[in-house]
Amino acid sequence: MKIKILVVTIFYLIGSLNLSYAANSEKVDQISKNLRCLICQGQSVYDSQSDFALSMKILIQNKIDEGQNDEQIYDFLKSKYGEWIVYDPEINKNTVLLWVLPLILFVFGGILILRKVSIK
Protein backbone atom coordinates (compact mmCIF):
# COMPACT_ATOMS: atom_id res chain seq x y z
CA MET A 1 0.00 0.00 0.00
CA LYS A 2 2.77 2.37 1.01
CA ILE A 3 4.65 1.63 -2.21
CA LYS A 4 1.52 2.30 -4.22
CA ILE A 5 1.10 5.74 -2.62
CA LEU A 6 4.76 6.47 -3.21
CA VAL A 7 4.55 5.51 -6.87
CA VAL A 8 1.41 7.58 -7.36
CA THR A 9 2.98 10.64 -5.71
CA ILE A 10 6.13 10.31 -7.82
CA PHE A 11 4.10 10.09 -11.01
CA TYR A 12 1.98 13.01 -9.88
CA LEU A 13 5.09 15.08 -9.21
CA ILE A 14 6.62 14.23 -12.58
CA GLY A 15 3.31 15.04 -14.25
CA SER A 16 3.00 18.42 -12.58
CA LEU A 17 6.61 19.23 -13.41
CA ASN A 18 5.96 18.48 -17.06
CA LEU A 19 2.82 20.58 -16.99
CA SER A 20 4.58 23.60 -15.60
CA TYR A 21 7.34 23.20 -18.17
CA ALA A 22 4.84 23.00 -21.01
CA ALA A 23 2.94 26.04 -19.76
CA ASN A 24 6.15 28.02 -19.79
CA SER A 25 6.96 27.50 -23.42
CA GLU A 26 3.53 26.96 -24.94
CA LYS A 27 3.39 30.51 -26.22
CA VAL A 28 6.90 30.21 -27.63
CA ASP A 29 5.91 26.97 -29.39
CA GLN A 30 2.84 28.62 -30.85
CA ILE A 31 4.82 31.55 -32.26
CA SER A 32 7.83 29.55 -33.41
CA LYS A 33 5.59 27.16 -35.36
CA ASN A 34 4.65 30.10 -37.58
CA LEU A 35 8.26 31.07 -38.21
CA ARG A 36 10.46 29.73 -40.96
CA CYS A 37 13.91 28.62 -39.87
CA LEU A 38 15.94 30.58 -42.37
CA ILE A 39 19.06 28.45 -42.32
CA CYS A 40 17.39 25.04 -42.38
CA GLN A 41 15.24 24.56 -45.42
CA GLY A 42 11.75 23.25 -44.98
CA GLN A 43 11.71 23.44 -41.19
CA SER A 44 9.99 25.78 -38.82
CA VAL A 45 11.84 27.42 -35.96
CA TYR A 46 9.81 25.18 -33.65
CA ASP A 47 11.07 21.98 -35.32
CA SER A 48 14.67 23.00 -35.68
CA GLN A 49 17.48 22.47 -33.20
CA SER A 50 19.92 24.72 -35.08
CA ASP A 51 21.73 27.51 -33.24
CA PHE A 52 19.68 30.03 -35.15
CA ALA A 53 16.38 28.49 -34.08
CA LEU A 54 17.45 27.98 -30.47
CA SER A 55 18.46 31.64 -30.18
CA MET A 56 15.24 32.66 -31.84
CA LYS A 57 13.23 30.76 -29.23
CA ILE A 58 15.13 32.47 -26.40
CA LEU A 59 14.47 35.82 -28.03
CA ILE A 60 10.75 35.06 -28.33
CA GLN A 61 10.63 34.06 -24.65
CA ASN A 62 12.41 37.32 -23.72
CA LYS A 63 9.93 39.34 -25.75
CA ILE A 64 7.00 37.57 -24.10
CA ASP A 65 8.51 38.25 -20.69
CA GLU A 66 8.78 41.91 -21.67
CA GLY A 67 5.03 41.82 -22.22
CA GLN A 68 4.95 42.01 -26.01
CA ASN A 69 2.06 40.42 -27.85
CA ASP A 70 2.27 38.03 -30.83
CA GLU A 71 1.78 40.78 -33.37
CA GLN A 72 4.65 42.84 -31.97
CA ILE A 73 6.98 39.86 -32.01
CA TYR A 74 6.12 38.95 -35.60
CA ASP A 75 6.57 42.58 -36.64
CA PHE A 76 9.94 42.76 -34.91
CA LEU A 77 11.18 39.63 -36.68
CA LYS A 78 9.77 40.78 -40.00
CA SER A 79 11.67 44.05 -39.68
CA LYS A 80 14.87 42.08 -39.13
CA TYR A 81 14.48 39.21 -41.56
CA GLY A 82 11.79 40.34 -43.96
CA GLU A 83 8.42 38.88 -44.87
CA TRP A 84 9.98 35.49 -45.60
CA ILE A 85 10.35 34.58 -41.93
CA VAL A 86 6.62 34.13 -41.38
CA TYR A 87 4.79 31.25 -43.00
CA ASP A 88 1.69 33.34 -43.53
CA PRO A 89 2.49 35.88 -46.23
CA GLU A 90 0.69 39.21 -46.17
CA ILE A 91 -1.14 40.53 -49.19
CA ASN A 92 1.02 43.07 -50.98
CA LYS A 93 2.26 43.90 -54.46
CA ASN A 94 4.57 40.89 -54.56
CA THR A 95 2.24 38.30 -53.09
CA VAL A 96 -1.06 39.33 -54.66
CA LEU A 97 -0.77 36.65 -57.36
CA LEU A 98 -0.20 34.04 -54.67
CA TRP A 99 -3.48 34.94 -53.01
CA VAL A 100 -5.57 35.62 -56.11
CA LEU A 101 -4.45 32.71 -58.30
CA PRO A 102 -6.24 29.96 -56.30
CA LEU A 103 -9.42 32.03 -56.39
CA ILE A 104 -9.17 32.45 -60.16
CA LEU A 105 -8.51 28.72 -60.60
CA PHE A 106 -11.46 27.92 -58.34
CA VAL A 107 -13.81 30.10 -60.34
CA PHE A 108 -12.43 28.80 -63.64
CA GLY A 109 -12.85 25.19 -62.50
CA GLY A 110 -16.36 25.95 -61.33
CA ILE A 111 -17.27 27.34 -64.75
CA LEU A 112 -15.83 24.25 -66.45
CA ILE A 113 -17.87 21.90 -64.25
CA LEU A 114 -21.04 23.94 -64.72
CA ARG A 115 -20.61 23.86 -68.49
CA LYS A 116 -20.04 20.10 -68.51
CA VAL A 117 -23.11 19.53 -66.34
CA SER A 118 -25.33 21.78 -68.42
CA ILE A 119 -24.19 20.11 -71.68
CA LYS A 120 -25.30 16.72 -70.32
Partner 1 sequence: MVRNIKLIAIVFLVIVSFLILLIGLNKTNNYSPNLNSSNIDFNFKAKFLYSNEETTLYELINDKDFSLINIWASWCLPCRDEHPYLLNLNSLGKLNIIGINYKDSEVNAKKFIKELGNPYSKIVVDPSGVNSIELGAYGVPETILINNNSKTILKKYIGPLDDKKLAELKMIIKNEN
Burial 6-18 (b: 16+ CB within 10 A, else e): eeeeeeeeeeeee
Which residue(s) pair with 36 in the sheet?
Answer: 44
The answer to whether 83 and 90 are in contact (CB under 8 A) is yes
Closer Cβ to partner 1, 8 or 58, answer by number:
58
Residues that bind partner 1 (CB under 8 A): 38-39, 41, 50-52, 54-56, 58-59, 62, 79-84
Q: Which residue number, 29 or 113, has a Cβ lying nearer to partner 1?
A: 29
Instruction: Give me the least distance between CB of 42 and partner 1, in Å please.
Output: 11
Nearer to partner 1, 59 or 74 (CB): 59
Q: How far is the CB of 54 from partner 1 (least distance, A)?
A: 7
